[in-house]
Copies of this chain bind each other. A is one copy, B any other.
Amino acid sequence: MTNQVSALNLADILDEHRRRWPNNVAAVDEDGAVRLTYPAFAARVDRLAGALIGAGLGSGDRILWLGQNSFRILELILAAAKLGAIVSPANWRQSPDELDFIVADAAPKLTVWQEKEVGERVRGAQSFRKTGLWLRHDADVSGASEYERFLTAAEPAGELDFVDPALPLVMIYTAAFGGSPNGALITHNAIIGQSLVYGPARQITADYRYLNVGPMFHVATLMETLATFVMGGANVFVPRNDPEEICRIVDAEGINGAFVIGPAMEQLAEANKDRRYNLKTLRALKGSDAWNDMVTVDDSPWGQKPFGFGQTETLGYATYSLLQGAGAMGRSSPVVLARILDEAGSEMPDGEVGEIAVRGQTVSPGYWNRPELNVQRQGQGWHRTTDLGRREADGSISFIGPKGQLIKSAAENIYPAEVEACIRRHPAVKDVGVIGVPDPVWVQHVKAVVVLKPEATATEADIVEHCRAHIASYKKPRIVVFALTIPRAGFAIDYAKLNADHGGGGYPGGG
């Protein structure tokens, strides 16, 4: 526990914003029907904290959000910050069964849910209204909201025990790669540290107006929501991702930032092709000429190169491409340490591939309710990201790919992603998956399944030779076969199927 005079948690920041930025807008929602200055927002948060205490919530208790984007997510996070409680904005697109898993896992004392667009799924869950308190936040046919009644009926919380900023405040369930989702815990310190780095990088100040259009259960949006809050800016919320509606709100609210990338930019450009809306306040990435002409193409270093390596467990970027070097991911954030480790936890030399491990202010102290996974991922004092990277000679970091299933050839460990990255650079190759095949002498040997580009040709020997030229010889495939597709589950290679189709197996640790 840090000395209180020297400490700062997220609730403290709101308490100061009400004084420091009394005239700034904190939150806008429901198409402008909700518009709260920092003092008004802080007053609601005080009352909500009082209501939570009245409902028996305290330090370490979980609050689950089952709804679309709303100012109430930020409000709940700030009220939880006063109590030391934890808020999890869950993916509202999940099935009733998936929701049941989350409810059972998080065991929330309070679940706030939404009827509109989400209610059918929520009400279809076995757990509905069975565990702890459930409050519907959107208005019912009478115009009343359970959540609002809960909040407004309470007295503001009085003086509370000090909450250590090293405690978790937010929990984000990560994608369920190879099993169930896990709730990554995010601390007050992580939010403050990331905001102090990301804020200046993205030029977020107290004048900044951020449109929460991406899902707030994903760090790509949430890290900017929170940085906007920490800097005293305005968060504007929109439940749905509708191009015309977004254009209208950008114009009406003078939005400066939003998670709008790739095809979404062109959808907005199309929706606004008659130039009905003025989008010039929006600092955006470069797109089509029509788009570039419509918005302010971000000329900050951030806008020029919006990269970084990160994940939920680091509340977004752990490296910043702004800190330029030979490696495209740039260098570790000022508040993060990065190491490239082998399986045993020893540091790899520069230029060699290993697992990226991190430590520092923005790093999760672990997963909720996962003691074994926490030992596996963090037992050596570092958080292992399960992603592969390489430290370049200039200190910057290259991302190789997800670690995947380790291949064992005699005493050597081989990461499929490293071999795949090498083969993918061959000009004839469109896609590739690499597996280990049981070997009576060497434990396993490497097999590459290659998809060639249309009209392109390459032989097995070409691919092997290409690998020999670019990676250590023991990593090159012993066998190369050609196929029409690589099986995938979403973006990721479906290794279970690839192994089954091509004789893979014998992996260290089984499988």
Contact = CB atoms under 8 A, between A and B. Distances in A.
A84 interface: no
A196 interface: yes
B231 A334 contact: yes
A323 interface: yes
A5 B395 contact: no
Interface string A326-365: 0000011011111100000000000000000001110111
Nearest to A313: B5
A452 B249 CA distance: 60
A421 interface: no
A163 B276 CA distance: 58
B6 A361 contact: yes
A140 B438 CA distance: 69
Interface stretch (A172-180, A184-192, A239-247, A407-415): A184-192
A429 interface: no
Interface in A224-264: 230-232
A233 to B, nearest CB: 12
Which size bracket describes the interface of A in this complex?
Answer: 35 or more
A190 B383 CA distance: 25
A97 to B, nearest CB: 32
A366 B3 contact: yes
A12 B200 contact: no
A19 interface: yes
Interface string A207-232: 00000000000000000000000111
A2 interface: yes
A32 interface: no
Nearest to A39: B395
B360 A6 contact: yes
Given A16-B338, A230-B334, A395 B2 contact: no
Interface string A155-172: 000000000001000000
Contacts of A334: 13, 195-196, 199, 230-232
Contact of A12 (B23, B189, B197, B360): B360
A381 B5 contact: yes
A394 interface: yes
A391 interface: yes
Contacts of A190: 6
A249 B483 CA distance: 65
Contact of A337 (B16, B323, B331): B16
A4 B200 contact: no
Contacts of A15: 337
A6 B166 contact: yes
Interface in A257-299: none
Contacts of A200: 200
A382 interface: yes
Contacts of A366: 3, 5
A338 B5 CA distance: 11
B6 A363 contact: yes
Contacts of A135: none
Interface of A: 2-8, 12-13, 15-16, 19-23, 166, 187, 189-190, 192-193, 195-197, 199-200, 206, 230-232, 323, 331-332, 334-339, 359-361, 363-366, 378, 381-383, 391, 393-395
Given A7-B166, A7-B360, A19-B338, 5 more contacts: A4-B381, A6-B359, A6-B364, A23-B395, A206-B323
21 contacts: A2-B189, A5-B359, A5-B364, A5-B365, A6-B359, A6-B361, A6-B365, A7-B360, A7-B361, A8-B193, A8-B337, A8-B359, A8-B360, A12-B359, A16-B332, A16-B337, A20-B338, A192-B361, A196-B197, A199-B334, A200-B200
